Structure 1
């Protein structure tokens, strides 16, 4: 879901889920290990914890990212390599792990990625979700010179890209867990 003009709904809200034949604890151990995210993320190729106790609320992760040239090719998004910082905002082993993107000044933005783990027969269901309630520093820069039609097109295409990334991430997490 994406919206360019209504302030009462999020700009982006996406979710995908996948059943896994693994314990909630084992799944949590994988998805909360953000330095390993290069094994499953379409854009984050890895990174490191830079402050706080790793994978706990308040810990900060510096992600190393890479985006291909053809992703929403007409829009002025970051391409190639770039660095992000995020702060863990929820960390409940076996249940949920979430992080908020930070701006250049280190403030949490209303852009939260996460994994929820739900019990299910034979294992669990892993839910990957993303929500952006207000434009981030990056989105404001991308859309600054766009008219309303271009903004609507961008939000639609970017929303589809994020939804695809969530599904791809889950498929890759399943493969990592299957490998042990």
Structure 2
């Protein structure tokens, strides 16, 4: 058995920060409403809460997503519209909001997205983060037919895409919050 970049843990561990002219509680009120994610996410168009009390630990959100043909265009990614489900794993108003992606079998994956908020002299430092411990079934499916150089290329390009998505998301959230 050979070692692959896909066996690295964590596979992804990324974060970005921005200053927002609002309180952490005000920012939390926006980012914890995943139905609004289409206002800021580069891929998620929004969605609906399918179980539990919205925005609370244990609630499940079904997101509607869109990925263009140009995103890491050479890799065998899901394109067009697709749906995902996630479960809220942390929800502390004004402090943190995190969700874990669920597999198609509705099982937890080591794929967690979230926001942290901190007071910064009357403003809010908003941190957006993504961590994938072990590669998900979806990642394994994407790279199954790729040789190791292509797998490395995929991880490099996907990391760059994720970093850009985190930054773009924060800029859009800042605009949404500050222009309310």
With normalisation by structure 2, the TM-score equals 0.96
Corresponding position of 1:144:
144
Corresponding position of 1:4:
5
Displacement after TM superposition at 1:4 (Å)? 1.6
Stretches of 4+ moved more than 2 A in 1?
A: none
- Structure 2 distance, partners of 1:36, 1:5, is 32
- Structure 2: runs of 5 or more not aligned: none
- Structure 2 distance, partners of 1:51, 1:109, is 18
CA offsets per residue over residues 34-66 of structure 1, 9 Å max, x none?
Answer: 000000000000100000110011100000000
Give 3-state SS (helix, strand or coil) of 1:84's partner. Answer: strand
Which residues in structure 2 correspond to 1:53-132 (within 5 Å)?
A: 53-132=53-132
Displacement after TM superposition at 1:6 (Å)? 5.4
With normalisation by structure 1, the TM-score equals 0.96
Please tell me the root mean square deviation across aligned C-alpha atoms, in Å: 1.1
- Structure 2 distance, partners of 1:97, 1:151, is 31
Corresponding position of 2:175:
175
1:22 aligns to 2:34 (yes or no): no
> Does the C-alpha gap of structure 1 residues 19 and 11 become closer, same or farther in structure 2, counting only changes over 3 Å?
same
